[in-house]
Each structure stands twice: as structure tokens, then as C-alpha cells.
Amino acid sequence: MIRRGQPVAVPWTALLWLGLIVASVILAEHAKDLSRAWDARWLMKVPSELRIPLKAEVSAFMAWLVEDVRFGPVAFTDITRGMAWLVEQPYDFARALLQSGLTRGQGEGAEQVAPPLSWIAVIAAVVAMGHYARSWTLAAFVGACFLYLAVFGQWDSAMVTLASITIAVPIGVAGGLVLGIAGWRWRAVDAVLRPVLDLMQTVPIFAYLVPILFLFGFGPVAALIATVIYAMPPMVRITTLALRGVPAEIRGFAVMAGCTPSQQLWKVLVPSAMPSLMVGVNQVIMLSLNMVIIASMIGAGGLGFDVLSALRRLDIGAGLEAGLAIVVLAIALDRLSQAFANRPSPTHASQHLPFVRRHPWSLTVALVILGTALLGLVMPAVQSYPDGLTLTTGRFWSDVVETINVRYFDQLEAVKTFMLLNILIPVKRVLLGLPWPWVIGLVTLAGWQLGGWRLALLCFGLSGFLAVNGLWDDAMTTVYLCGVSVAIAGLIGIPLGILATTGSRMGRVIAAVIDTLQTLPSFVYLIPVVMLFRVGDFAAMIAVVLYALAPAVRYTAHGIQAISPQLIEAGIAAGCTRWQLLTRIRLPLALPDIMLGINQTIMLALSMLVITALVGTRDLGQEVYIALTKADTGRGIVAGLGVAAIAIIADRLIAAGAQRARRRLGLAG
């Protein structure tokens, strides 16, 4: 019955929304005049009686937490400082091993007792790991990645960054795994975790940077902790999902084989969920490297600092080289970790071989480490890559940008003006022209239609939060900038995703481009973009689109690849053309995945806001940034929560929509 009713229901809601959109556009044109004519200014501007002084309360709470909270003789900050100290020990060790060497004393007066691992030793180690994990091809690939770091003179900074990543990623993965398992085992934990994870992912780091610095001290450890907060949520989510996705039969086997609960979990469930878990590990690595720039602002140093200071003096080439070093590091680590996860388990026969035959690689690497350390004492080139042999692209990239700038500026300007006048400015005018009660009403209605009264209530509450905290105009600017960027990212990303499924070589090329775009610090391309398009919304939009493109491509490709081949066969048998196969079978069936991709695109677009604030947009990101400069903790956190509110509304609406689409297509769950 329901199935037969649906084809009628869909056009009805579609018509309703079409009508509402047209009404909104007309309303936006005239709302300001109307509110003036009716003497109802409250329609356009949230009246002050409705405002709540949340900012001041948050500031007071943070001050209390940092200064006054005590458990007996131990202050809260002592505990957090203690935690920081615990994290600092392995970090110091990793850094000593990779970059600074063992030292005695502190600061500039410190003497080196033992040198760090030589560059040859580090490269030998990663090559060995690559071969051990998969093949000589992988070994050559990671070796080349690390060689890039040495040849382009990024070695020292890259090792500082690597040291913090080797600490942050395991903490993020382990913490994510534990929380994810807790969320899988206890529904209540899951219910608490979900909103917390949303906040961890969407509240911009600048919003809580200052309290973190107070609690954990100024330096690499605070940066590590901020990195973990940002990078861990996908791991938690994926762990819970992956464990739920393990077929009931497998659990049944484990129970029948007499496993204890912990054996069930660690010996059966986690290994069978491994492929999905590795997606989480990939995300932790990528997101940790994303934080490198912000981490460098609070004392982590490394590649992020090089990028910032190069671009500060407009040295585009140096900025790009340091930025690419981050990409190279990310891709090498990712490929290595993926290979380790997929490695076939060792065969039993090899266990009877003598020690040397069983561990040829560990021994070789140990020999190289020892050999280069000794040789390095007499030949400095063995210890650290000689400066004279480093390459640099020098002014090449600056010249490229200059050429484009001088020759093609008029054409670029024409494109920009067209986009601004026909898309960006009209959308902005509509969104900023709408009365706030109308928007809250629309969002609530959408929630009710897609997910019932609970979702409606959530949407109402969150959009109300924006209004009562006096963030309405900033929030609408945010919605406008992110909305337009996400639409464009979708228009580019979905076709790219389809293209990526047409052949494995094409897929690999697109995947490499996407990985690069996601890990290349946006600062690197922000400066050339500003040079070509000037400060303003258009430059911000380009930066957001470039960064947020990745999930639209990935999820589309994934959705299309996941379609069961029988359905395609059936289509071919029924005589579909390629175009019909795409539009009638592939795309509709991949729709739920595509919607999740768009969802992630929105999240990434929102997380770029802080960066776009740096080119002068006037949205919530700018509000967070201003709060940071004025040392106003409460203002920053409230604006950060505003970003999270928009993110959560978008996420829940799209998830509900994808759920409905899936049900309509008769797909599981």
C-alpha cells in the first residue's frame, strides 16, 4: 500500500518546497520594507529581550575551570598538566630519535649527546617497512616520498612533524577504538557520544584554543591534544559502525567456539571488521596532517611553520614545497598503514627458520642504523643530507603565478564578476533578506517532513540557538558561503566520482589528486587564489570548493562500485544504453552514498571557515577569529557552537533524507 502511495506523495512535497522557495525569494526582496511598514523590526533583527548572555557565562565557566577547580590539594590544571607531561615523554623520545638527537640541558645551551637517526637510516627503515608490508613497489614508493623530503631540504621540519604524528595517530586510533567499542556495546554511550563527536569535529579549533593552552601548557603537547580532538571522531564512528556491520553468523561461530566476551571482541569481531577500521585509520592520519598548520601556531613547529612563514613573505615556491612535503608524508604513511592492515598473515613454515632468515629486514635496518651512525661521525653527509645537494624550485612557482596574473587576469576577472553578480550576490541577498522566524520555520518543517517531530524539535532548537545568541547574520553568511561552495563542489565532484569508476587507472589518478587536495594546507593555494581573484567571497569560495571536493568524489565512486553486478547485468540484458545504465540504475542506487558524500562535503566546508576568515569573509569563522584576537573565550566558544549547530542541522536532515531514499529503493537499513 505504502509503495503505491509514494509516487503521489513525492510530487506533492516537491511542489510544496518549490512553492516555499519561490515564496522565500519574493519575501527576501520585500521583507525589509514590510517590517518597516508594519513597524515590526523584530522580524529582521532578533530583539534584545530574546538574547541570552551565554558568552559571559561560558567565559566565566572556563575561567573557573582553569583557575579555581580543585580536588583537595590538586588543582584541575595540575591534572591536565600531568596528562600533558605523560604525553610529552613519548613525544620527546620520538623527536630526539628523529630530529634533535639526545641532548643534555635545555634551550640553546643544550649539547647533543647522541645524534638522531641519519636520513639514510630513516629511509632504509621505511623502505624495509614497505617491502615487509606489501611489495618492492610500495617500498620504492615510500622511499621516494622520504627522499623528496631530503632532496627538497624539508628533512628537519618533516621529522618534527613526523614525530608529532607518530604520537598523535596511535593515541587517536586507540582512543577512537576504545570509545567506538564502548558505543557499540552500550547504546547509552553511543547516544552520549554522537553529539560530542559532532562538536569535536565541527567546533573550529580556534574556538577552544586558548583554554587548551591554559590547561595543557603552550607547546607541542597542546598541539598534539588539539590534533587528537580533531582527528579522532571518524575513528570512533567507523569503529561502532564496523562492529555493527559484522554478520551475526560470525558472532555465532565465536560463541559456539567457546570464546570469552573479550576473545570474541579482539580475536573475532575486530579482525573481521579490519577493512572498515582501516578506513578510520586513514582518516585519522589525514586529519592529523590537516592540523599541522594550526598546531604550528601553538608551538609544534615543523612543516606547518615553514608553510606559514614562507607565505607570509609571499614565497609561493617555498610554501608549496613545504606544503607538498606534508602531502608526501601523509600519502606515504597512509599507504604504509593500509598495506600493513591488508598483509597476509605469515605462513607457519617460516617459523622454523633460523632467526637471521626469519628477520632479514629488521637486521638489515639495524645494521644500516648502526653503520650510518658510526659513519656519520666522520662523514657529516651520511648523518644529515648535505645542504649543497638540496633542490628548490625557487622562483618558478611565483613566476607561474605572475605569468597567469599578468596575461590572463582580465579573463579570470570576467569569470569572477559573472559568478559574483549572477550566483553569489543574489544568494547572499536572499538569505540575508529573509526574516529569521521564517527561516527557523522552514528548517523545522524540513525536519518534520524528513524525520518526524524529534528531528523537527532538534532543528528548531539549534536554529533558535543561533538567533538568541545574536549570531543570525553571521550564520546566514556562513550558510550562503558554504551552500554555494557545496553546490559547486557537488557539481564537480559527482561527475569526477563517476569518472573514477570507469577505469582503474583513472580511479588512481583521481584518488591521488583528491588526497593531495585534502592534505595540502589550504594556505598554499589561498595566497595564489587571492593574487588572482582578490580578497573576498569568491576567493574564499574557491578555497572551500578545493578542500571540500574530496568526499563528494569518494562517496560517489564508492556508491557506484558497491552496486551489485547482477543489477547492472539485468540492465544490460534489458537493453539499456550506457547513458540509461548510468541515469536509471547506477546513479539512483548510489544516491544514498552520494548524499552521505555531500554531507561530508558540508562538514569539510564548515571546517574551512576559519581559514576563509583569513581572506576576510564576515561569517561565523571570522567571529571565532575575532574572539581569539580579543582573548574572549566565551565569544569564541559560542560562535564555534554556532558552526556546530549549522553542521548538525545539515547532517541530520541529510541523513534522514538518505534513509528515506534507501527505503524507497528497497535497500537494507
Binding to another protein in span 519-558, by CB under 8 A: 523, 526-528, 530-532, 534-536
E strand or H helix at 443: helix 436-468
Binding status of residue 616 toward another protein by CB under 8 A? yes
**397's grid cell:** 612557482
Binding status of residue 641 toward another protein by CB under 8 A? no
Q: What is the DSSP string of 614-632?
A: GGT--SHHHHHHHHHHTT-
The interface mask with another protein, positions 207-226, x = CB under 8 A, is --xx--xx--xxx-------
d(Cα 201, Cα 77) in Å, to the nearest integer?
24
Binders of another protein among 86-105, rule CB under 8 A? 86, 105
570576467: which residue's cell?
414
Contact 484, 422 (CB under 8 A): no
Binders of another protein among 105-164, rule CB under 8 A? 105-109
3-state secondary structure of 346: coil
Binding status of residue 615 toward another protein by CB under 8 A? yes
Q: Which position among 28, 199, 462, 560 is part of the footprint of another protein (CB under 8 A)? A: 199
Minimum CB–partner distance for residue 426 and another protein (Å): 13
Q: Which is nearer to another protein, 443 or 613 (CB)?
A: 613
Q: Which position among 143, 180, 234, 301 is part of the footprint of another protein (CB under 8 A)? A: 301
Q: Which position among 96, 129, 200, 486 is part of the footprint of another protein (CB under 8 A)? A: 200
Total Cβ atoms within 10 A of residue 641: 22
Q: Which position among 16, 21, 174, 192 is part of the footprint of another protein (CB under 8 A)? A: 192
Through-space distance between the first and last CA atoms of the chain, rounded to whole angstroms = 20
**532's grid cell:** 588572482
Which of 111-118's residues contact partners 24+ apart within 8 Å by CB, and which partners? 115/373, 115/376, 115/383, 116/159, 117/369, 117/373, 118/369, 118/372, 118/373, 118/376, 118/382, 118/383, 118/384
Binding status of residue 81 toward another protein by CB under 8 A? yes
Cα-atom radius of gyration of the chain, to the nearest Å? 27
Q: Which is nearer to another protein, 600 or 622 (CB)?
A: 622
Q: Which is nearer to another protein, 303 or 549 (CB)?
A: 303
Minimum CB–partner distance for residue 295 and another protein (Å): 10
Q: Which is nearer to another protein, 391 or 631 (CB)?
A: 631
Q: Which residue stretch of 305-313, 338-346, 383-391, 547-555 sits at the interface with another protein (rule: CB under 8 A)?
A: 305-313
Q: Which is nearer to another protein, 593 or 632 (CB)?
A: 632
Q: Which is nearer to another protein, 460 or 533 (CB)?
A: 533
Minimum CB–partner distance for residue 488 and another protein (Å): 19
Q: Which is nearer to another protein, 82 or 360 (CB)?
A: 82
Minimum CB–partner distance for residue 78 and another protein (Å): 6
Q: Which is nearer to another protein, 114 or 178 (CB)?
A: 178
Contact 619, 484 (CB under 8 A): no
Number of residues forming the site for another protein (CB under 8 A): 78
Q: Which position among 224, 291, 311, 647 is part of the footprint of another protein (CB under 8 A)? A: 311
Q: What is the DSSP string of 6-43?
A: HHHHHHHHHHHHHHHHHHHHHHHHHHHHHHHHTT-GGG
**285's grid cell:** 592520519
Q: Is the dihedral of CA 107, 322, 146, 169 positive or negative?
A: positive
* Closest to 660 measured CA to CA, from 6, 1, 4, 5: 6
Minimum CB–partner distance for residue 214 and another protein (Å): 6
The backbone torsions φ and ψ at residue 112, rounded to the nearest 5 degrees and listed phi first, read: -85, 125
Residue 75 burial (10 A CB sphere; 0-12, 13-18, 19+): middle
Binding status of residue 612 toward another protein by CB under 8 A? yes
Binding status of residue 298 toward another protein by CB under 8 A? yes
Binders of another protein among 255-294, rule CB under 8 A? none
**401's grid cell:** 603565478
Binding status of residue 504 toward another protein by CB under 8 A? no
Minimum CB–partner distance for residue 88 and another protein (Å): 9
Q: Which is nearer to another protein, 423 or 511 (CB)?
A: 423
Instruction: Please list the residues that pair with 112 across neighbouring strands.
Output: 103
Which of 660-664's residues contact partners 24+ apart within 8 Å by CB, and which partners? 660/450, 661/591, 661/592, 661/595, 662/592, 664/6
Contact 239, 184 (CB under 8 A): yes
3-state secondary structure of 530: helix
Total Cβ atoms within 10 A of residue 85: 12
SS (H, E, C) 222-263: HHHHHHHHHHCHHHHHHHHHHHHHCCHHHHHHHHHCCCCHHH
Q: Which position among 553, 614, 644, 656 is part of the footprint of another protein (CB under 8 A)? A: 614
Minimum CB–partner distance for residue 279 and another protein (Å): 22
Binding status of residue 622 toward another protein by CB under 8 A? yes
d(Cα 643, Cα 634) in Å, to the nearest integer?
14
Q: Which position among 19, 47, 53, 82 is part of the footprint of another protein (CB under 8 A)? A: 82
Binding status of residue 617 toward another protein by CB under 8 A? yes
Minimum CB–partner distance for residue 160 and another protein (Å): 10
Minimum CB–partner distance for residue 82 and another protein (Å): 4
Binders of another protein among 390-429, rule CB under 8 A? 402, 405-406, 409, 413, 417, 420-421, 425
Q: Which is nearer to another protein, 404 or 445 (CB)?
A: 404
d(Cα 154, Cα 478) in Å, to the nearest integer?
36
Binders of another protein among 160-189, rule CB under 8 A? 175, 179
d(Cα 328, Cα 156) in Å, to the nearest integer?
15
Binders of another protein among 24-63, rule CB under 8 A? none
Binding status of residue 308 toward another protein by CB under 8 A? yes
d(Cα 669, Cα 667) in Å, to the nearest integer?
7
Q: Which position among 83, 259, 363, 432 is part of the footprint of another protein (CB under 8 A)? A: 83
